[in-house]
Structure 1
Amino acid sequence: MSSNDIVVLGRLAEAYGIQGWIRLHPFGDDPLGWRRIPVWYLGREGGPWREAELHGLKAHGDGLVVSFVGIADRTAAEGLKGQLIGVPREALPETGDGEFYWADLLGLAVVNEEGALLGKVAALIETGANDVLQVVNDAGEERLLPFVDAVVLEVDKPAGVIRVAWGCDW
Structure 2
Amino acid sequence: MSERDSGSSGRAKATSRAKTSDQAPFGAFVRKPVEKSEGKAKADVVPVASGAAEMRPETAESWPADVVEVGKIVDAYGLKGWVKVAAHADAGHGGDALLSAKRWWLMQGHERRSTPSLQAKTHSDSVVAQLGGVADRDVALAMRGTRIYISRSEFPALEADEFYWVDLLGLDVVNVAGVHLGKVADMIDNGAHSVLRIEYPATDKSGKPVTGERLIPFVGVFVKTVDQTAGLITVDWEADY
- Matched residue, 1:122: 185
- Matched residue, 1:104: 167
Match of 1:151 among 218, 222, 240: 222
Alpha-carbon distance, 1:138 to partner? 2.5
Contact 2:181 2:200 in 1 (8 A): yes
Instruction: Assess, with a 3 A threshold, how the Cα gap between structure 1 residues 100 and 141 changes in structure 2: closer, same or farther.
Output: same
Contact 1:16 1:65 in 2 (8 A): no
Contact 2:74 2:144 in 1 (8 A): yes
- Matched residue, 1:5: 66
- Matched residue, 1:78: 144
**SS at structure 1 position matched to 2:142:** helix
Instruction: Assess, with a 3 A threshold, how the Cα gap between structure 1 residues 60 and 70 changes in structure 2: closer, same or farther.
Output: same
**SS at structure 2 position matched to 1:103:** helix
List runs of 5+ in structure 2 lacking aligned partners: 1-61, 203-210
Contact 2:85 2:126 in 1 (8 A): yes
Larger strand percent? 1
**SS at structure 1 position matched to 2:183:** strand
Contact 1:2 1:48 in 2 (8 A): no
Alpha-carbon distance, 1:55 to partner? 3.5
Alpha-carbon distance, 1:155 to partner? 0.2
CA distance in structure 2 between the partners assigned to 1:126 and 1:10 by the alignment: 17
- Matched residue, 2:212: 141
Contact 2:70 2:98 in 1 (8 A): no
Alpha-carbon distance, 1:5 to partner? 2.6
- Matched residue, 1:87: 151
Contact 2:104 2:148 in 1 (8 A): no
When normalised by structure 2's length, the TM-score is: 0.56
Two-structure CA RMSD over aligned residues (Å): 2.9
Structure having greater relative contact order (Cα 8 Å, sep ≥ 6): 2
When normalised by structure 1's length, the TM-score is: 0.75
**SS at structure 2 position matched to 1:158:** coil
Alpha-carbon distance, 1:151 to partner? 2.0
How many corresponding residue pairs? 163
Alpha-carbon distance, 1:111 to partner? 0.9
Q: Deviations over 1:100-157 (max 9, x none)?
A: 2323212110111222211111222344432222211134212222222222110011
CA distance in structure 1 between the partners assigned to 2:73 and 2:215 by the alignment: 26
| Amino acid paired to 2:144 | E
Contact 1:134 1:144 in 2 (8 A): yes
CA distance in structure 2 between the partners assigned to 1:25 and 1:133 by the alignment: 22
- Considering only CA atoms, is the larger Rg found in Structure 1 or Structure 2? 2
CA distance in structure 2 between the partners assigned to 1:58 and 1:110 by the alignment: 38
CA distance in structure 2 between the partners assigned to 1:77 and 1:109 by the alignment: 39
- Matched residue, 1:25: 87
**SS at structure 1 position matched to 2:141:** helix
- Matched residue, 2:239: 168
